[in-house]
A and B are shown apart, each in its own frame.
Chain A
Amino acid sequence: EEMKSQERLFLSSLGLSGRPRPAGGHQPRRRVPSALWRMFRRSENMQAQESDPCTVSEYGVRGNIIRYVQDQGRLVSGWSSSCQVCLEKQLFFNMSVLQPVELLSLAQLEIKFHWKPFRSAELLQGPRALSVSLYKVIRATLRGANPQANRRLLLSQSVRLQPEPSSITMDLTSLAESWRKPGRNYGLVLELLPLSVDPEELLPFHPGNSLPLEPALTLPLIQASLVAVSLNPHQCRSRQRR
């Protein structure tokens, strides 16, 4: 018991409410993003004198904690949206993982597209494009209500689909800050519409998480993460003057 209480005390001085219990078990562990590994290695190789552990030079902001917050949103099929040929994906980042004392310096959304054409015809037709629209959800939608009315467009751009992964990044710091307040996080909606494809060729998406078996275009695998940089002021003194 004494060991446990000492451990709690020590973990709290490390800014942790308790010993983290990751899912583990039979679930495969989430891969460490390569950018985080690079930052970790760089901090290891840096001389103590030249490093400032409370500045994240990669992003140019103050902070001592960098989190890759996982997306917990689900894939929504076209039936619930006004667009029958779109792919809709909810994005949800649980910002309550940040402790109240932490000051959020940066929240950067990164959406990666991995497109693996499985039909040679798709490759022969050359790179395709997707129209990508990102909305913030401002309130929960009641059943039967038009979901569009509860959204605000944040970003609209097209992405060329190539066998090489492509990505979109966007600064969402102020929005992510608002998500920290309880009951204020309704997440985002990502809408994808294949471009330069005859609408006749497109099949509507079916309810549930499954994609149609024979879409006119093999859709990319979408991975979204939110890089959140925060500063725990208790763990970062101001730098001493020489």
Chain B
Amino acid sequence: SAIHLPVTPSNVCKARRLYIDFKDVGWQDWIIAPQGYMANYCHGECPFPLSESLNGTNHAILQTLVHSLDPHGTPQPCCVPIRLSPISMLYYDNNDNVVLRHYQDMVVDECGC
């Protein structure tokens, strides 16, 4: 008897475009490059039944099932990054040394439930 809101393709879990410009956070005075990067983010629902395209874990499949039976007691699984890639940053430190640093898990490539 659970009431399901209709899930349209636009609000299912997927990676959304987000460009982060370092100027927006006031970091342009120490970061040399890049000026920003395509960070992206995950957003959307993980509806029942989970289709293959939503990259659901076994846990998420069971959680959506339980959620469909008890929507108030059990939340829907979350839409989270499942594949991330690194970026490199060139910057000046406090001593004016030039530093190149590689950071893992900075760009959201793929999302899943």
A36 neighbours in B (Cβ, 8 Å): 90, 98, 100
Min CB gap A73→B, angstroms: 14
Chain A 61-94 interface 0/1 with B at a Cβ cutoff of 8 Å (1 = within): 0001111111000000000000000000000001
B29 contacts the other chain (Cβ, under 8 Å)? yes
Binding site for A on B (CB under 8 A): 25, 27, 29-30, 32-34, 85-86, 88, 90-104, 107, 109
* Choice from A19, A33, A54, A236 contacting B98 with Cβ under 8 Å: A33
Question: Once the chains bind, are A67 and B32 in contact (CB under 8 Å)?
Answer: no
A235 contacts the other chain (Cβ, under 8 Å)? yes
B30 neighbours in A (Cβ, 8 Å): 19-22
Binding site for B on A (CB under 8 A): 7, 14-15, 19-24, 29-30, 32-33, 36-37, 39-40, 43-44, 48, 51, 53-54, 64-70, 94, 97, 235-237
Min CB gap A89→B, angstroms: 19
Smallest CB-CB A-B distances: 5 pairs? A48-B85, A53-B102, A22-B92, A53-B86, A43-B88
Question: Once the chains bind, are A66 and B86 in contact (CB under 8 Å)?
Answer: no
B103 neighbours in A (Cβ, 8 Å): 14, 53, 64, 235
Question: Once the chains bind, are A40 and B95 in contact (CB under 8 Å)?
Answer: no
Question: Once the chains bind, are B100 and A70 in contact (CB under 8 Å)?
Answer: no
State the CA gap A181–B79 with chains docked (Å). 46
Question: Once the chains bind, are A30 and B100 in contact (CB under 8 Å)?
Answer: no
B93 neighbours in A (Cβ, 8 Å): 20, 22, 67, 97
CB-CB under 8 A for A48 and B100, given A20-B91, A20-B92, A40-B33: no
B interface: dominant SS: strand
Known: A39-B100, A65-B101, A97-B93. 13 other contacts (CB 8 A): A14-B103, A19-B30, A20-B91, A22-B92, A29-B92, A40-B90, A43-B102, A48-B107, A53-B102, A64-B101, A64-B104, A66-B99, A68-B98
Min CB gap A86→B, angstroms: 29
Question: Once the chains bind, are A65 and B86 in contact (CB under 8 Å)?
Answer: no
Question: Once the chains bind, are B97 and A69 in contact (CB under 8 Å)?
Answer: yes
Interface contacts (Cβ under 8 Å), in number, total: 91
* Choice from A30, A51, A54 contacting B96 with Cβ under 8 Å: A30
Question: Once the chains bind, are A48 and B99 in contact (CB under 8 Å)?
Answer: no
Question: Once the chains bind, are A237 and B104 in contact (CB under 8 Å)?
Answer: yes
Question: Once the chains bind, are B109 and A97 in contact (CB under 8 Å)?
Answer: no
Min CB gap B37→A, angstroms: 10
23 example contacts (A-B, Cβ-Cβ < 8 A) are as follows A20-B30, A20-B91, A20-B92, A22-B92, A22-B96, A23-B96, A30-B96, A30-B98, A36-B98, A43-B88, A48-B109, A51-B85, A51-B86, A53-B102, A54-B102, A64-B101, A65-B101, A67-B100, A68-B98, A68-B99, A70-B96, A94-B95, A236-B104
- Nearest chain A residue, comparing its CB with the CB of B34: A44
Most-contacted residue by chain B among A14, A22, A40, A97 (CB, 10 A): A22
Question: Once the chains bind, are B32 and A70 in contact (CB under 8 Å)?
Answer: no
- Nearest chain B residue, comparing its CB with the CB of A31: B98
Question: Once the chains bind, are A44 and B92 in contact (CB under 8 Å)?
Answer: no
A54 neighbours in B (Cβ, 8 Å): 102, 104
